[in-house]
Amino acid sequence: MQLESAIQKKIIDYLESKGCYVVKIITANKAGVPDILAVCPQACGAVLAVEVKRPGQKARPLQEYHLQKIREAGGVAIVATCVEDVERIFK
């Protein structure tokens, strides 16, 4: 099974290949903030927030809360277990 960090790297590389501005969040001022934030105006048209999990894992309630708040603010927010989950946003 892939490490979460390996999945994050693949997702970041993919987003950068699409011309997105990508930030990997290491420490935030709020618990539960998504792992990756990206601005992808030419692709999905918004700020993209990605909570990365290994296959079979789910986001914790606080993480889901932040993803929902991002959606309410007009962003795209997902839980991804592989780069293909992110690719679907661009199709």
Locus of tokens 């293909």: 84
pTM: 0.92
Query: For the segment 32-82, what is each residue's pLDDT rounded down to a tens digit?
Result: 899 999 998 876 678 999 999 999 999 999 999 999 999 999 999 999 999
CATH number at residue 70: 3.40.1350.10
At 58 the three-state DSSP class reads coil
Q: Which residue in 45, 37, 51 sits closest to 90, CA to CA? A: 45
Question: Which structural domain, as residue segments, surrounds residue 42?
Answer: 4-90
Residues 74 and 56: their CA atoms lie apart, in Å, by 28
> How many domains does the chain divide into?
1
